[in-house]
Chains A and B, each alone.
Chain A
Amino acid sequence: MSQKVKDASIPTIPLGARIQRWIGRNLIRIYAIFAFTYLFIPVAYTFAFSFNDSGKSNLIWKGFTLGNWQNPCGAPEVCSALGNSIKIGFLATFFSTILGTMIAFAIGRHKFRGRSTSNLLIFLPMATPEIVMGASLLSLFLVFKINPGFWPTVIAHIVFCISFVVVTVKARIASLDPRLEQAAMDLYANEFETFRRVTLPLVAPGIAGAALLAFSLSFDDFIITNFNSGTLTTFPKFIYVSAARGIPAQANVIGSAMFFLALTIVIVGQLVNRRKVR
């Protein structure tokens, strides 16, 4: 499409009109820059205020310090909350990835009675507002006299992560070339070998992506956690509770560190993937 505007360089066109054309041609790029700025303003703010020499409440800029980064556990409860979030995140990711991948293979690879009902059952948790899911699960735990806490939270997180794992892995399975598996079978690999040596390695990036998604959903969840965790504090819960009296700068340190860590993992993953494709 951009070839048509090549004649913009004909020298008779005045500068003003040329600038106008340039803007017209790049409008969507300029827009994208604005949109990304919007997305990153609060991230940058959080990062900047992780260096604030703030004392108790991190509301006003009081001066630059590296102290918060050197002592990220300096504020009470911050690191125990973070530890809980990481533990819950790993457990929820582990179980939801296994359960979800199995479902994805069943739906993506087999024709069977009840397939559309299965699809519906996967869609429903995603169409249920978090507050309804959280509240209903808490009611169930209360009926069975199970106290909210660590394991109820893990269970709740597995519930909402499964659907996202299924959708992600299923998309990957759908994009596979069926001829690769046929080729393996033609080369006398049995069904199990074909699965282990051809199908699974091909689906693996999808499973890894699903696991990463599950972890970030679990790690960042507040609403469902708030209903099912009782007195247990997770990182988001810690932030919500301390918001009233001011969040310690250490929370900004941890939030920013998580941001850079996750970004690194994703970018390294993409580079590894690209090298493999080559």
Chain B
Amino acid sequence: MGKIRTPYLLLLPGFGFLFTFFILPIINLAQTSTQTNVAGGDTGQYEQTFRFANYVDAFVENKEQFGRSFLYATIATVLALAIAYPLAYAIAFKAGKYKNLLLVLVVAPFFTSFLLRTIAWKQILGEEGFVVPTLRSLGIISQSTTLTSTSFAVVMGMTYNFLPFMTLPLYASIDRIDPRTLEASGDLYANGLTTFRRVTLPLSMPGVVAGTLLTFIPAAGDYVNAAILGNPNTKMLGNVIESRYFKIVDYPTAAALSFTLMAAILILVTLYIRKAGTEELV
């Protein structure tokens, strides 16, 4: 009897907490998203009218930021994958006894606040930094070109900030590959590229899936990079939700946008997992 109950007793406190402070808020958010302004009421006073058109309005009004969020997040994820894969491969197969040390170094930048690092990029890429004057004097960019306050800087900042999230799961997957399978592939006259395409990559797929998800999801909802490194024309959905909440006190629109963002991410994630053919997530 006790044995059957044990797992439930272990789950109870944690899931009770998650239900109260994660599930309930989401339900409440859904409820807020269809509310409308109280006629003649103050700002911030809303009543439930089940106005589903809130979603349409919110989407139409912010479709640019919507598209930008998913575009930037996609580019940043692809870039992070391209940068992280060889790095994870190098740590797994070429680092020898320094493996653990290098893994620590991948996570180490985390410990300097990510805001400090993002602001550091802003200053490095800014007018007073060393990158822009160097590139200008080499003639790579024109005198009037700037790097900060551009979509380039936003995407670069996102790529940078989420790189460890990509590298760690990739490493975990690649490290599990038996090097003998790669040797076997070589013995069967596969060249380096074929071995990578037919052996290494398929075996590391769980890491690719986990890494892209851990990068894409926070990137799509991010607004800090856009706020620090961007300009008004690089605003993402996160920036809109934030200002709806704090500056305009328009809770229903913010809720509708949040919900749309979450739904869009969940749909994309489900499709992606189906396509990538792995159910093994966490």
Contact = CB atoms under 8 A, between A and B. Distances in A.
Interface of A: 1, 28-29, 31-32, 35-36, 38-43, 45-46, 49, 59-60, 99-100, 102-103, 105-107, 109-110, 112, 115, 118-119, 121-133, 135-140, 143, 155-156, 158-159, 162, 166-167, 170, 216, 219-220, 222-223, 226-227, 235-236, 239-240, 243, 247, 251-252, 255-256, 258-259, 261-263, 266-267, 270
A258 B112 contact: yes
Contacts of B271: none
B11 A159 contact: no
Contact of B123 (A35, A59, A140, A262): A59
B115 A36 contact: no
B22 A125 contact: yes
A43 B90 contact: no
Contact of B242 (A124, A131, A251, A261): A131
B224 A240 contact: yes
Q: Describe A's contact surface by its main secondary structure.
A: helix
Given A43-B109, A155-B21, A266 B119 contact: no
Interface of B: 4, 6-8, 10-11, 13-15, 17-18, 21-22, 24-26, 28-29, 32, 83, 86-87, 89-91, 94, 100-102, 104-121, 123-124, 128, 160, 163-164, 182-183, 186, 213-214, 217-218, 220-224, 228, 238, 241-242, 245, 251, 254-255, 258-259, 261-262, 265-266, 269, 281-282
Contacts of A115: 7
Contact of A136 (B25, B101, B282): B25
A229 B111 CA distance: 22
A135 B245 contact: yes
Nearest to B131: A41
A87 to B, nearest CB: 17
Contact of A99 (B13, B108, B111, B118): B13
A138 B245 contact: yes
A161 B26 CA distance: 17
B111 to A, nearest CB: 4
Contact of A102 (B10, B26, B123): B10
A110 B6 contact: yes
A50 B116 CA distance: 11
A1 B186 contact: yes
A42 B124 contact: yes
A28 B262 contact: no
B257 to A, nearest CB: 9
Contacts of B266: 127
